[in-house]
Chain A
Amino acid sequence: MSRLFVVIASLAFAVRIFAATGIPAPTGHINDFAGVLRIEEKQSIEQTLVSYQESSGNEIAVALIRSLEGDTVEEKAVRLFEEWKIGKKGKDNGVLFLAAIDDRKMRIEVGYGLEPYLTDGDAGEILRNDVTPAFREGKYGLGVSNALASIEKELSGSAGEANKPTPTAEQFPIPFWMMIFLFIYLCSFMARSKTVWLGGAAGAIAGVGFGSWLGSVSMSVVLAIFLSLVGLLLDAILSRNYEVTKKSGGKNGFFHTGGGFWSGGSGGSSGSFGGFSGGSSGGGGSSSSW
């Protein structure tokens, strides 16, 4: 039963990941994915937002999309915010204006750090009074400009003082590179030694050592057995690997005999827009329809 649950949970997780990757990367402060703005409207809004960011530090993003694709507007907004990370890391001074043109739904999502300045009530008023009338007439550029002007006015007291640290994961005390180095060193060593039992023995000793450090006999036994098996396997694979590469005349210098277990490389980001700076939101703001 619990296994079934795990399977379902991981499936749901996979689906979520997949859904999350469906969110497009920001192309600038203004993102007209719905294609409803004229080019000069887009340019003037972009300019306003860039200069506002330079003067106040607050990051405002606008996303106009066609459809919510079955999501609620709240859901969509918070996902976009998570993906784009609008606002400065630690300050969380970002605001997102999202409108789904075909669904006639919109939302202002406010970063944690700006919640005291742009309250849910303020956001609701802006949507009702500044955006709705313009959007009803199909004047999307006007609606967005109105909203941005009001948002900037509400935020006027915030510059440079919004400060709520984001909770971040703690770092492991053992540096990652050190572990990799040790691992390569050990692998090379075990590959060179003719015997296979060495890895197993080392594993067993490590298990006993760590178990007694934790202060439990049963733990020592379990760890010793488990780790000696791991060590044996590793040593066996590596020693054979070493022989093979030696015969075939491949690279067998000390730091090449790890066995090709690891490969590096990470994707870079692209696009002329530098992206936002790592801010987060927690569902603050307001939604409305027109």
Chain B
Amino acid sequence: MNKIALAIVGVVLLLGAWLVGSYNGFATQSNAIDGQWKQVEVQYQRRFDLIPNLVESVKGLQKQEQKVFGDIAEARTRYSGASSVDQKAAAASQMESALGRLLVIMENYPEIKSDVAVSRLMDELSGTENRVAVERRRYNELVQSYNTSLSIIPGNMLAGIFGFTRRAYFESAEGSESAPKVQF
């Protein structure tokens, strides 16, 4: 009888530990995703901070090409007015395609491009686009491994019990010049 009691206590401890471990695993992954989203937002902010300098330095563009600055300004306004993650993401995608177009337009202006200050600024801008792409890819990878652990056994049973739900991937802007290379 004594042995049985001992065994029961052991099993209870073991399974409790396993369940706690599973729960903590989900929670850790979920928090990592939130943290990574903050990284993405930091890079968005960095991008917005660059724009005033950019607009200043490329005033020499022709009239019909100035339209792109209107688009950039609009995207910026929408981003600062965004209240949800989805809205922020949409505004950021809009910004991305506008900046992509600007980078293409700049290729047609060798005299502007050859200016040292402008070329450094373009470096910063494409560096920022790349940072956004990298942080977003990492975000998607975290979401993917989290979603996978929610959908395989035994995670799919435990997740429902614990109240963890799947997270959405970050979709890249269609046709934008600097779309991140995330393949799903």
Interface residues of A (CB under 8 A from B): 6, 8-10, 12-13, 15-16, 72, 74-75, 78, 119-121, 123-125, 128, 167, 169-170, 172-174, 178-179, 182-183, 185-186, 189-190, 193, 198-199, 201-203, 205-207, 209-210, 213, 219, 222-223, 226-227, 230-231, 282-287
Contact = CB atoms under 8 A, between A and B. Distances in A.
Contact of A193 (B7, B12, B13, B24): B7
Contacts of B123: 120-121, 123-125, 286
Contact of B16 (A74, A209, A287): A209
A282 B147 contact: no
Interface of B: 3-4, 6-8, 10-21, 24-25, 28, 31-32, 35-36, 39, 43, 116, 119-124, 126-128, 130-135, 144-145, 147-148, 151, 157, 161, 181, 183-184
Question: 7 nearest interchain CB pairs?
Answer: A202-B11, A120-B127, A121-B120, A124-B123, A283-B134, A206-B15, A283-B131
Nearest to B25: A172
A69 B31 CA distance: 35
A6 B144 CA distance: 9
23 contacts: A9-B147, A9-B148, A13-B148, A74-B130, A78-B134, A121-B120, A124-B123, A167-B35, A167-B36, A169-B28, A170-B24, A179-B18, A182-B13, A182-B14, A193-B7, A210-B16, A219-B161, A222-B157, A223-B161, A230-B15, A282-B39, A285-B127, A286-B126
A99 B144 CA distance: 31
B148 A286 contact: no
B14 A179 contact: yes
Nearest to B4: A198
A269 to B, nearest CB: 24
Contacts of A124: 119-120, 122-123
Given A9-B184, A121-B120, A206-B11, A222 B161 contact: yes
Contacts of A182: 10, 13-14, 17
Contacts of B151: 6
Given A203-B15, A209-B16, A283-B127, 9 more contacts: A9-B148, A167-B36, A170-B24, A172-B24, A193-B4, A202-B10, A205-B11, A210-B19, A282-B39
Contacts of B126: 120, 286-287
Contact of B130 (A10, A13, A223, A283): A283
A97 to B, nearest CB: 15
B7 A173 contact: no
Contacts of B3: 189, 193
